């Protein structure tokens, strides 16, 4: 049975299994994601991330991400930060700004170092979009939250009862208005101005954090007058700083674009290991 080297990492507790697909391509990542993500019988994670070369010159590397149920996601902010750390700390790049190809477009990762290791990463998450599916407008949940797409769909509900995430999150993820399902955030404005948020991530259920979800929450809070252009989003696993740029800005030799959402947070190594390919998979 073939063994695949992996690295487990997390961003604010949102943990994934990372495989260098440039050296170890996997033919059936969906099956691997299901088997390896199992927290009782596998490695335990929110999913599987494959790091690969970019097929287009506009990007430096590419990522594919598979949720714990095997479904493929378009983008993950926490995973993208960890990819930046993996690439730099493993000497696969010396760039301080990495262009990462995802299913929701190319994202720029800006590295922040401590002792020559990546400690934090700022991700240019692009511009938010707000087209709510028509089927949802007439549903009983319409008007209770805000639909924001950060390259993947999010529905943000502001409520004092953020712990309804387990029950209501599951219902909303599978609402008929979302044929591809949806990520759900329950958020509460705290006395210090931070936003306490819990996440139901499509394909994974409750997760400790969600980068795109934090961005969607910050944008929804700004649009509804609950917060300004910058917010600290406090999730179960940690805090992410989100800035929705109102104008262009240059700082420290880096350019920040108007209307783009920038997410800054930690990326942390957990452990390395070797995983056995499930019987249903065959390496390329």
Domain boundaries, the chain: 3-126+268-276, 134-243
Question: pLDDT class for 252, splitting at 50, 70, 90?
Answer: confident
Instruction: State the pairing for strand pair 254-256/268-276.
Output: unpaired
pLDDT of residue 280: 66
pLDDT of residue 144: 77
Q: Is the pLDDT of residue 140 over 70?
A: no
pTM, full prediction = 0.90
Active-site positions read 76, 210
Q: Coil, strand, or helix at residue 168?
A: helix
The answer to whether the 3-126+268-276 and 134-243 domains have the same CATH topology is: yes
Say yes or no: domain 134-243 is CATH 3.10.310.10. yes
Helix crossing, 77-89 with 211-223: angle to 10°? 130
pLDDT digits (tens, 9 = 90+) for 76-128: 999 999 999 999 999 999 999 999 999 999 999 999 999 999 999 999 999 99
Both tokens assigned to 17: 């299994």
**CA distances for 238 relative to 43, 146, 181, 222, 224, angstroms:** 22, 23, 25, 21, 24
Question: Which residue, 38, 45, 40, is CA-closest to 13?
Answer: 45
pLDDT of residue 284: 43
State the chain's mean pLDDT as an integer.
Answer: 93
Question: Which residue, 120, 108, 137, is CA-closest to 82?
Answer: 120
Apex 18 CA angle, 203 and 15, nearest 5: 50
Lowest mean pLDDT among 40-44, 98-102, 168-172, 248-252: 248-252
CATH numeric code, 3-126+268-276: 3.10.310.10
What is the CB neighbour count within 10 angstroms for residue 282? Answer: 10
Whether residue 207 contacts residue 201, with contact meaning beta carbons closer than 8 Å, is answered with: yes
Query: Residue 162: phi, psi to the nearest 5?
Result: -75, -15
pLDDT digits (tens, 9 = 90+) for 204-247: 999 999 999 999 999 999 999 999 999 999 999 999 999 999 99
């Amino acid at each position: 049975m073939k063994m695949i080297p992996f690295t487990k990492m997390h961003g604010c507790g949102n943990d994934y299994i990372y495989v260098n697909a440039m050296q170890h391509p996997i033919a059936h990542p969906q099956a691997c994601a299901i088997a390896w993500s199992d927290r009782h019988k596998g490695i335990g994670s929110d999913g599987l991330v494959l790091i690969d070369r970019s097929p287009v010159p506009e990007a430096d590397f590419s990522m594919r991400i598979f949720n714990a149920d095997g479904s493929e996601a378009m983008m993950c902010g926490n995973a993208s930060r960890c990819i930046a750390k993996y690439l730099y700390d493993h000497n696969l790049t010396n760039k301080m700004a990495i262009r990462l190809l995802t299913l929701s477009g190319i994202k720029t990762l800006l590295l922040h170092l401590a002792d020559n290791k990546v400690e934090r990463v700022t991700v240019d998450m692009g511009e938010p979009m707000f087209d709510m599916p028509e089927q949802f407008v007439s549903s009983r949940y319409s008007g209770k939250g805000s639909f924001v797409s950060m390259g993947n769909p999010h529905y943000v509900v502001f409520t004092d009862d953020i712990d309804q995430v387990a029950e209501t999150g599951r219902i909303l993820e599978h609402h008929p208005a979302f044929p591809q399902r949806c990520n759900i955030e329950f958020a509460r404005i705290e006395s210090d101005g931070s936003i306490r948020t819990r996440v139901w991530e499509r394909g994974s259920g409750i997760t400790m954090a969600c980068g795109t979800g934090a961005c969607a929450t910050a944008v929804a809070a700004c649009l509804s007058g609950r917060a300004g252009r910058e917010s600290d989003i406090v999730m179960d696993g940690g805090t992410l700083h989100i800035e929705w740029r109102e104008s262009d800005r240059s700082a420290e030799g880096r350019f920040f674009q108007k209307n783009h959402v920038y997410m800054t947070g930690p990326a942390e190594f957990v452990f390395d290991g070797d995983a056995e390919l499930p019987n249903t998979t065959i390496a390329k």
